[in-house]
Amino acid sequence: MQNYIADEGRDLTVAGRSKSMRVLVIEDDRETAQFLQKSLKESGHAADLAGDGETGLSLAETGVYDVLIVDRMLPKLDGLAVVKSLRTGGLRTPVLILSALGEVDDRVKGLRAGGDDYLTKPYAYTELLARIEALSRRAAPEEQVTKYVVGDLVLDRLSHRVSRGGEAIVLQPREYRLLEYLMKNAGQVVTRTMLLENVWDYHFDPQTNVIDVHVSRLRSKIDKSFDKPLLHTVRGAGYMVRDGAG
């Protein structure tokens, strides 16, 4: 972990360089909602608030938002019902469901209702931010990308080959999938939980730093013999693949 960028966590907006998003937060707890609004604003995004399901639904239906953050338990109209009726109405805006219920079956229910991601309370803001940024990117029209390129690092999704500066790098299948996910979200923070869920499909909290070990193994293969590191540790948040100079 020798390569982490000292205080990048402080400055996620700049580090993330993601486009400014317009976010709708449907959350009945005013304090949480205002915290999110303020934090999102500081991260360079605009956030509107809705205090109940009905208001949230009518705002969301305008279609002007890039991402919706929907609390699961809401007055007037339950969060899952909001998502369901949005989806029935044909709206594809990505939805992150927030819930105090965190078991696997709750997650499954949330995703089945039409949510794109599910985050259990209490959560770290960095985790939420990383996830909605990943969601907004997922929603962007993604033509069949066959190649990810970050700096001189190239991952070919057809031949499953990875090379840096023209030099082939041999990766284990799992390392390949780890790098693929990181490069797919290049320029954005990817949290440990996101890696765990998306690369391994594990939905539990490993009690040890096992993800860090996987990442540092990958790093030793793609960064070690090169001057410029591409795989960065974002303190307090997770990891990011980024071409430092760009």
Partner 1 sequence: MTVLDKFGASVWTSTPFRLAALSIAAFLVTAAGIAGFMFWQTNDLLTEQVLAGLRAEVQEMRHMEAAAGSASVAAAIKARARPEGPGLYFFADKSGRKQAGNLSRQPPELSSEGGGTFRYEREPGDERLAVALPISFSDGTRLLVGRDIEEQRVFANHMRTVFLLGFGLLSAAGLAGGLGAGRLLLNRIDQINAASRSIMAGDLSRRVPVAGSQDELDGLAGNLNAMLDRIEQLMGGMREVSDNIAHDLKTPLSRLRNRAEATLRDGGGDCDAYRAGLERIIEEADELIKTFNAMLLVARLEAGALDGQAEAFDIGGLVRDVAEFYEPLADEQGLDLTVEADDGARVVANRHLVNQAVANLIDNAIKYGRPETPDAVGSIRVTLRILTETVEIAVEDLGPGISADDRERALKRFVRLEASRTKPGTGLGLSLVAAVARLHHGTVRLEDNAPGLRAVLVLPRARQGISA
Q: Give contact residues for partner 1 (rule: CB under 8 A).
A: 102-105, 108, 120, 122, 124, 174, 200, 202-210, 213-214, 217, 236
Q: In the bound complex, what is the minimum distance in angstroms from residue 89's beta carbon to partner 1?
A: 28
Q: In the bound complex, what is the minimum distance in angstroms from residue 219's beta carbon to partner 1?
A: 12
Q: Are 4 and 235 in contact (CB under 8 A)?
A: yes
Q: In the bound complex, what is the minimum distance in angstroms from residue 209's beta carbon to partner 1?
A: 8
Q: In the bound complex, what is the minimum distance in angstroms from residue 210's beta carbon to partner 1?
A: 4
52: three-class secondary structure by DSSP: coil
What are 242-246's contacts with CB under 8 Å, separation 24+? 242/15, 242/150, 242/186, 242/187, 243/150, 243/151, 244/151, 245/151, 246/151
CA distance 37 to 98: 15
Q: Which is nearer to partner 1, 145 or 213 (CB)?
A: 213
CA distance 55 to 59: 6
Q: Which is nearer to partner 1, 120 or 136 (CB)?
A: 120
Residue found under tokens 């949005």: 86
Q: Which is nearer to partner 1, 26 or 237 (CB)?
A: 237
Q: In the bound complex, what is the minimum distance in angstroms from residue 216's beta carbon to partner 1?
A: 8
Q: In the bound complex, what is the minimum distance in angstroms from residue 5's beta carbon to partner 1?
A: 16
CA distance 126 to 123: 8
Percentages (nearest 5) of helix, strand, coil residues in the chain: 40, 20, 40
Q: Which is nearer to partner 1, 43 or 93 (CB)?
A: 43
Q: Which is nearer to partner 1, 51 or 102 (CB)?
A: 102
181: three-class secondary structure by DSSP: helix
CB atoms within 10 A of CB 157: 15
Q: Which is nearer to partner 1, 4 or 200 (CB)?
A: 200
What are the C-alpha distances in Å from 151 to residues 43, 91, 175, 181, 243?
Answer: 25, 36, 19, 16, 5
